Amino acid sequence: MIEISDLIGHPYTEKCDCNWLAATVAKRAHRGYPKGLETPKDPGKWPETFRKVLYRHYKKVEKPKEGDLAIFRIPMEGGKVEMHCGTVTEPGWMVTTRATSGVIRARLNSKFWRTVLVGYYEYNA
């Protein structure tokens, strides 16, 4: 299991977002993480950048394992969509961060996360 207890409760900031968290957890799991997933200066380009890097460096998997990314598409006001990620830490669980909660452990099969899940992805350098 990836050690994440010291990250739980860490506040969300622009520099400490889901990508920062995924990169931090990947390093602890001795997994790669592409540099192209930093949040761009123009937030309007974020979903496009995220998709390009995701599909270039990750392969979709049916059964996630420790260190894989869970990718989400979260509907926002005005019809916009927020791309979001969490990292699988053990079967059925992930670590993620949101502006409303900071870093949390979350069940992958909770009603909210199940309804916005795009899929699970394994890093493929």
Q: SS3 string of 15-73?
A: CCCHHHHHHHHHHHCCCCCCHHHCCCCCHHHHHHHHHHHHHHHEEEECCCCCCCEEEEE
Of 26, 7, 2, 18, nearest to 100 by C-alpha is: 18
Q: Between the ranges 45-49, 55-59, 111-115, where is the mean pLDDT highest?
A: 111-115
Between 95 and 48, where is the model more confident?
95
What pLDDT, on the 0 to 100 scale, is given for residue 23?
A: 86
The helix (run of H) or strand (run of E) holding residue 101 is none
Give the Cα separation of 26 and 38 in Å (integer).
14
Task: State which CATH number among 3.20.20.240, 3.40.50.150, 3.20.10.10, 3.90.1720.10 fits the domain covering 18-123.
Answer: 3.90.1720.10
Cα dihedral 24, 111, 123, 39 in deg (nearest 10)? -50
Angle at 30 between CA 24 and CA 36, to 5 degrees: 55
pTM as predicted: 0.86
pLDDT band at 28 (very low <50, low <70, confident <90, very high): confident
Whether 41 shows a pLDDT value over 80: the answer reads no
